[in-house]
Amino acid sequence: MLLLVQYTLTFASVLILVALGGCIAEHSGVINLGLEGIMVMGAMGGALMMRYMPADVPNIVMILGVLVASALVGVVYSALLAVACINFKADQTIVGTALNMLGVAAATVIVKAINTSADPDDVSSVVQYAVPKKAFLVDLGGFEFSWFMLVTLIALILVWMMLYKTRFGLRLMACGEHPQAADSVGINVYKMRWAGVLISGALGGLGGIVFITAGVSEWRFEYGVAGFGFLSLAVMIFGQWKPLRIALAALLFGLFRALSNVYMGFEGLASLNIPSQIYNMMPYIISLVVLAFTSKRSRAPKAEGIPYDKGQR
């Protein structure tokens, strides 16, 4: 049972970070469907930091360095979405899909180029050459606490406070609801949407490094992130674009994902002789069922996905 809780919190941490990123982007008026690719690129940035940072540095320095690298790479990569969709008013769905495909391909090529000197045919994750992932874990009597769980909790609190307790957050949400009205009172809609997308990229990048350091035991860049970017969007919609509801939804989805990792440890589940693939499918099946029943009651930001035209009223 303790292992189930551990995996649930681990996967929920990934989903919360990425879903919060999608939430902020959509509150600004931009649909970020490129979260899957952003996660991969952020994971690559953090993995490279782990590889090239000296092994004898304190754990706190390692953790902070990896977090900063993942977030920065996520920000830089999400800027492609911002340029295309905000400045050039490109279709946000198409750009996001392109970023997902480009992210996996670019990360694979970069990692293969780095590993060529060792084995030209090897496209392994650079994580295996880096500091052991134990640097991010603390054993609490059989429960492996990941520092990323604390980072996720802090991010959740900060996002909630930013959206509902700061002038910046209120202006951001105004740009996703009524951009023309926001513009009429002096708010720069383009800048606010840029901010929303870049913050989304930072959180997506963090979600990527959490996924590969705590969520899986072995990872190769060409595998992507197992659809967690899209699953995070489902969590965001189920959570109605509200941070606290997103956290609860992520815990539910994380529980179903965790079952695929620990089902053999539960006699009742193991005795059913259900293939492990079925348990792996459960979060995605649940997301389809949940969205089918809740989509009619969903209230997305009114102006999300609509390119802003300053001359339109």
pLDDT value of position 142:
76
Determine how many CB atoms are found less than 10 A away from the CB of residue 257: 27
Express each pLDDT in 195-214 by its tens digit: 999 999 999 999 999 998 87
Mean pLDDT of the chain: 87
129 — pLDDT class (breaks 50, 70, 90) = very low
Nearest-angstrom CA–CA distance, 124 and 146: 24
Percent of the chain surpassing pLDDT 70: 88
- Please compute, for residue 129, the number of CA atoms within 13 A of its CA located in the half-sphere on the CB side: 18
* Ordered structural domains, the chain, with CATH: 2-297 (1.10.3470)
Mean pLDDT to the nearest integer, 149-154: 96
3-state helix, strand, coil in the chain (%, to 5): 75, 5, 25
CA distances from 46 to 64, 125, 147, 165 (A): 10, 11, 15, 31
Rounded to two decimals, what is the model's pTM? 0.92
pLDDT value of position 28:
97
222 — pLDDT class (breaks 50, 70, 90) = confident
DSSP class of 130: S
Whether 81 has a pLDDT exceeding 90, the answer reads: yes
Nearest-angstrom CA–CA distance, 148 and 150: 5
Whether 59 has a pLDDT exceeding 90, the answer reads: no
Phi/psi at 275 (nearest 5 deg)?
-55, 145
Whether 84 has a pLDDT exceeding 50, the answer reads: yes
pLDDT value of position 273:
67
Express each pLDDT in 301-312 by its tens digit: 999 999 998 766
pLDDT value of position 295:
73
Percent of the chain surpassing pLDDT 90: 57
